[in-house]
């Protein structure tokens, strides 16, 4: 039985990116005999059955998941996986050669750890603007981790992200059973062109509910391939709007209640404060406030459409 199952969930992948991901996995220091490779074709327009670059692996399988959405694809892979440790490598994640080996060492040596992600460096197709570095990069899963941080409660410096997430399989199986038992729970995760996210937050929260620690680990290093469109201001704040809406959905799922939404008066006051800042800080502040306001509408639309499991 494999010690680790590596899972790539993909929907209409960019070929050059996926080839780099597979080549990085081929170069792993952990022998292929110790890990399984699962590729989940999540309703791609062109099936990935004949994909090149995987024949080197002795235990590789391509799964088809016709229910569009990252959460559906991850749940399908979790059911099919042989190992009790899962590594979710996105189709634009290039792990360092020792990524799998260090992940296995970490989880085998620390049974209290349930879910982690690592140090993620952005590799940009087009150089981003100067203001993009720092917090804005974190929105697209670029994180510079210099020190390991773990916790049994939510904290931004220890919360794992979905890119390169390594998690114990029982956490995912428990989430699946929970969703089967709660018909009213709203399902999160990227789906087609939708930028709603939050599935990584749900996984880490569930791990903590089961008594595990979650964290960010400096030794787990990878590159995140960033296409040009993802560094535009338009895309960035569209993404941020969806991140905010996803946070509201996560809160609703966890509390079974619709979270209170701030009123227009509060937003108007924040806009006035933003206008007093020097340019370009004032523009970015206004965009963030607008994103928060529009996230409320997105959240309500999500509720009205009955986007539930």
Query: Quick one: 243 and 215 in the same domain?
Result: no
Distance from C-alpha of 290 to C-alpha of 248, rounded to nearest angstrom: 16
Q: Which helix (H) or strand (E) holds 213?
A: strand 213-226
pLDDT of residue 42: 93
pLDDT of residue 184: 47
Domain boundary among 229, 255, 277: 229
Q: What separation in angstroms does the CA of 80 have from each of 6, 19, 76, 179, 181?
A: 12, 23, 6, 18, 20
Query: Quick one: 127 and 148 in the same domain?
Result: yes
Query: Quick one: 50 and 116 in the same domain?
Result: yes
- Left (φ > 0), alpha (ψ -120 to 50) or beta: where does 199 sit? alpha
Instruction: Quote the pTM value.
Output: 0.81
Query: Quick one: 147 and 295 in the same domain?
Result: no
Cβ–Cβ under 8 Å, residues 6 and 36: yes
At 191 the three-state DSSP class reads strand
Could you give phi then psi for residue 279, rounded to 5 degrees? Answer: -75, 140
Query: Quick one: 28 and 120 in the same domain?
Result: yes
Query: Quick one: 161 and 64 in the same domain?
Result: yes
Distance from C-alpha of 282 to C-alpha of 260, rounded to nearest angstrom: 27
Residue 309 lies in a domain: no
Residue 273 lies in a domain: yes
Domain boundary among 210, 229, 248: 229
Distance from C-alpha of 26 to C-alpha of 147, rounded to nearest angstrom: 28
**Domain membership of residue 246 as a residue range:** 235-304
Cβ–Cβ under 8 Å, residues 90 and 171: no
Domain boundary among 229, 245, 270: 229
Pairing of strands 60-64, 35-41: parallel
Distance from C-alpha of 149 to C-alpha of 133, rounded to nearest angstrom: 22
Give the chain's domain count: 2
Question: What tens-digit pLDDT sequence spans the chain (309 residues)?
Answer: 679 999 999 999 999 999 999 999 999 999 999 999 999 999 999 888 767 778 899 999 999 999 988 889 999 999 999 999 999 999 999 999 999 999 999 999 999 999 999 999 999 999 887 777 777 788 788 999 999 999 999 888 899 999 999 999 999 999 999 877 655 444 555 555 555 556 788 899 999 999 999 999 999 999 999 999 888 877 877 777 777 666 666 666 665 544 555 555 655 555 555 555 555 555 666 666 666 666 666 666 666 665 543
Residues 6+ apart with CB under 8 A from 168: 84, 85, 86, 107, 114, 115, 207, 212
Residues 6+ apart with CB under 8 A from 259: 248, 251, 252
CA nearest to 273, candidates 264, 282, 265 = 282
- Left (φ > 0), alpha (ψ -120 to 50) or beta: where does 86 sit? beta
Query: Quick one: 273 and 168 in the same domain?
Result: no
Query: Quick one: 181 and 257 in the same domain?
Result: no
Residue 147 lies in a domain: yes
């Amino acid at each position: 039985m494999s010690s680790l199952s590596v899972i790539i969930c993909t929907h209409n992948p960019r070929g050059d990116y996926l080839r780099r991901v597979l080549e990085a996995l081929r170069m792993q220091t952990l022998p292929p005999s110790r890990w399984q490779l699962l590729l989940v074709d999540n309703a791609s327009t062109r099936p990935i059955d004949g994909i090149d670059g995987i024949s080197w692996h002795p235990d590789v399988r391509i799964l088809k998941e016709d229910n569009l959405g990252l959460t559906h694809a991850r749940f399908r892979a979790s059911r099919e996986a042989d190992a009790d440790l899962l590594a979710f490598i996105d189709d634009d994640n290039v792990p360092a050669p020792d990524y799998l080996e260090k992940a296995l060492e970490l989880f085998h040596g620390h049974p209290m750890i349930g879910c982690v992600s690592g140090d993620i460096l952005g590799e940009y197709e087009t150089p981003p603007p100067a203001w993009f570095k720092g917090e804005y990069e974190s929105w697209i899963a670029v994180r510079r981790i210099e020190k390991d941080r773990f916790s049994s409660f939510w904290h931004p410096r220890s919360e794992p992200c979905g890119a390169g997430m390594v998690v114990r399989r029982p956490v995912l199986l428990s989430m699946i059973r929970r969703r089967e038992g709660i018909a009213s729970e709203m399902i999160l995760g990227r789906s087609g062109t939708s930028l709603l996210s939050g599935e990584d937050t749900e996984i880490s929260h569930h791990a903590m509910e089961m008594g595990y620690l979650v964290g960010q680990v400096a030794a787990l290093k990878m590159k995140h391939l960033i296409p040009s469109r993802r560094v535009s201001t338009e895309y960035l704040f569209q993404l941020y709007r969806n991140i905010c809406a996803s946070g509201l959905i996560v809160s609703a799922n966890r509390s079974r209640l619709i979270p209170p939404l701030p009123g227009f008066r509060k937003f108007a006051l924040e806009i006035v404060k933003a206008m007093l800042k020097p340019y370009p800080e004032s523009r970015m502040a206004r965009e963030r406030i607008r994103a928060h306001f529009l996230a409320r509408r997105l959240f309500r639309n999500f509720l009205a459409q009955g986007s539930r499991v």
